[in-house]
Chain A
C-alpha cells in the first residue's frame, strides 16, 4: 500500500502535476494533523471553486474586463501555488499573460485548459488520499491491519 502510494505520488510529480510545495505541506503533517494535506487540498478546491465561478462569469462578459480577470487569476494562482498544483499554476501564469496583452481568445482558451488541469488534479488527488488513508500513517504501515 505504501509503495503504491509512493508510486502514485512519484508519478504525479513526474507528470508535473505537483511540485515541491506539496512536499512542504506533507512535511507539515504530523500527529496533531495527520490529514493535514488532505484538509488543505479540500479547502483549496472548495475555496477556488468560487474563484472559478467568478472567472467563468467574467469571461462571458463582453468586452472582457482584463483587470478583473487578472485579479481573480492572481488570487487563484496564489492558492494553487500554495498546494503545489504545478500545472494549474502554469495555466494561471499563461492566462495572466494573455490578460496583460488583452488577448481575449487566449484567455478563454487558457481558461478551458486550466479547468481541465484543475479537474484532473482533483481526481488524481482524491485517489491519492484514498490510498493514503488506507495505507495509514507510515509508522503503522507494517502493522497488520
Chain B
C-alpha cells in the first residue's frame, strides 16, 4: 500500500478488490462472511486461527487492506491481534463479536479497532468497511505531509467539503486540508516548536500516558511529570501537554454527555460550570455554545486514535454530531458500561470514522442533535455519548468535568444547512479523524464579531485565525504548555466551530445575539469554576482575565 493512493492494482473502481483478511474460529460465520465479502466484490482470505492470521500478514506485508477479526479466538485474544496488526502493521482492524457490551466495545476501541461489528453481521455493514481503509490512508498521508511541510498554508483554510467525497483521488485531495489543520494544531504560536515528527498517539503510548496520569492523579498531573513517568525518549513535553489537554477535554466532554443526558435542552451552562473543571471546562463552556465544545470532547476522545491533530477537531464537530446521533447506538454514557441495548456498533459506516469507530443504540442519547430543530438560541445540546466510550478509553479516570452542555439543538435550519457535514446520522465513526474543516470560516467572523474588547485577547473578534492567534498571544499562564495545547486544540476546534459558526450566524443577526443570550446564562456559570488548568486560568465572570486565553474565549462569546 503506497502512502498516497492505493497502490495495489485493482480492476474496477474502488472499493472493489479491497483485500480483506477475515479471522474467526467459527466456521459457520467464516463461511458466511466470506460469501458476503465476495458479494461486495472484495478479495477475501479467511483464517481460522489468530496465529495463522498473523503469519499471513507477516508474509504478505502489503497483501491486505483491512482485517476483520473476531474478539473471541481460542489461541489468542482478539484484542492482542488487534494491537499487533493495528500498531505494527498499521492496518485498519474491525472487531466482531456476538457480545455488544459497552465495555467490550470500549475495549476494542481502546485497542485501536476501527470498528466493532455485532454478530450476526449483515452484508450492509460490510459494504462500508472500505471507508476505514481510506481514512487510515488519509491519516497516514497527512502525517507524512505534516512532517515534511511545516509551514503549509496555515491560514488557508479551505472548506473541505469534498473531504467526504471519496471520488477520484481521495487521499491526495485531502492532504492539503488535513495538513493545514495539522499545522494549525502543531502551531503553538511558535512554529519552531513544531514537533519533529508528528506524534502518533497509539495504543501503547496512550496506555503509558494513562498509567502515568493515574499514578499522579488527574488533578495533580502535569505534562512534565507524565513525561517522566512515561519514559518514552522520543516524546516531548509538548506532546504530552497537548495530549493531556485533549484528554481533559475529552473527560469534560464525557461529563457533559452525562449531564446532557439528564438535561433536556436549553443551555445549561450553569450546570456546566458547576463543577470543577478538570481542565477544559472553561473552554468548554465558552465553546459550549458552539459545537466546538463538542468537538473538544470528541477531540479528546480521539486520543485513542492515532491522530490528535486538528483533523480530529474538525472531525469532532462532525463526529460529535454524529456521535450524538450515534450515541444511541453507541455506548451509553454510563461509565459502568452497561450493556448496550441495541447494537453497539462503534463507528458505523459513513461519516465519521473513528473511534470510532463504530458503535451503536443506546437509548439515552437524546440526540439533541436536532440540528434541524429550529431553536433560536444556540442551544448546543450535544449529547456526546459516544464520547463516553472514549471515556472508558481513558481508563475510567474520574471525570470531574463540569457538565458542559452544549445544546446544539438549536441549530436549526441554519444549522441544518450546515449539517451537510454533520453526521447527525447515526453513523458515527469514532474515528472521525477526518475533519471536515468546515466550511464557513468566514462566517465565524460574523459570529464572533462580538469582540470582547476587554479581553486582552479578543479571541472572538477575529476570525478563526485571529482567534487562534489570540489564544496564543495571551497564553501566559504558568501552564503554558497546557494552554498551548489547548490553544491548539481550540484552534482546531475553532476551525470546526467556525465552520459551524458560519451557520449560526444567520441564526440571528449574526449569531452574536445568541451568543449573548447564551452568555447570560453562562455568565455566572462560566467562569465560576474555573480553574481549569491547575487554576491558572480564572474565568472570572467578567473575564478580565488576562490570564488565559480561555477566559478570553469565553468572554468573547458573551461579550457583545
Contact = CB atoms under 8 A, between A and B. Distances in A.
A25 interface: yes
A47 B120 contact: no
A75 interface: yes
B120 A24 contact: yes
A28 interface: yes
A141 B35 CA distance: 25
Dominant SS at the A interface? helix
B29 interface: yes
A51 B36 CA distance: 25
Contacts of B72: 71, 74-75, 78
Contacts of B31: 39-40, 43
A143 B410 CA distance: 61
Given A28-B39, A47-B26, A81 B32 contact: no
Nearest to A93: B98
Interface residues of A, number: 24
B103 to A, nearest CB: 14
A71 B97 CA distance: 12
- Name the interface size band of chain B: 20 to 34
A93 to B, nearest CB: 10
Contacts of B98: 74, 77-78, 81
B79 to A, nearest CB: 15
Nearest to A78: B98
Contacts of A36: 35
A82 B36 contact: no
Interface string B183-196: 00000000000000
Interface in A61-108: 71, 74-75, 77-79, 81-84
Nearest to B121: A82
A83 B121 CA distance: 10
Contacts, number: 58
Contact of B36 (A28, A39, A43, A75): A28
B99 A79 contact: no
A57 interface: no
B76 to A, nearest CB: 15
A74 B120 contact: no
Contact of A21 (B27, B35, B99, B120): B120
A82 B32 contact: yes
Contact of A84 (B70, B120, B123): B120
Contacts of B121: 82
B116 to A, nearest CB: 14
B25 interface: yes
Interface of B: 25-29, 31-32, 35-36, 39, 70, 72, 97-99, 119-123
27 contacts: A21-B122, A24-B123, A28-B32, A28-B35, A28-B36, A28-B39, A30-B39, A33-B35, A39-B31, A40-B32, A43-B31, A44-B28, A74-B72, A74-B98, A75-B25, A78-B26, A78-B70, A78-B98, A79-B28, A81-B98, A81-B119, A81-B120, A82-B26, A82-B28, A82-B29, A82-B32, A83-B32
The 4 closest A-B pairs by CB, nearest first: A78-B98, A44-B28, A21-B120, A81-B120
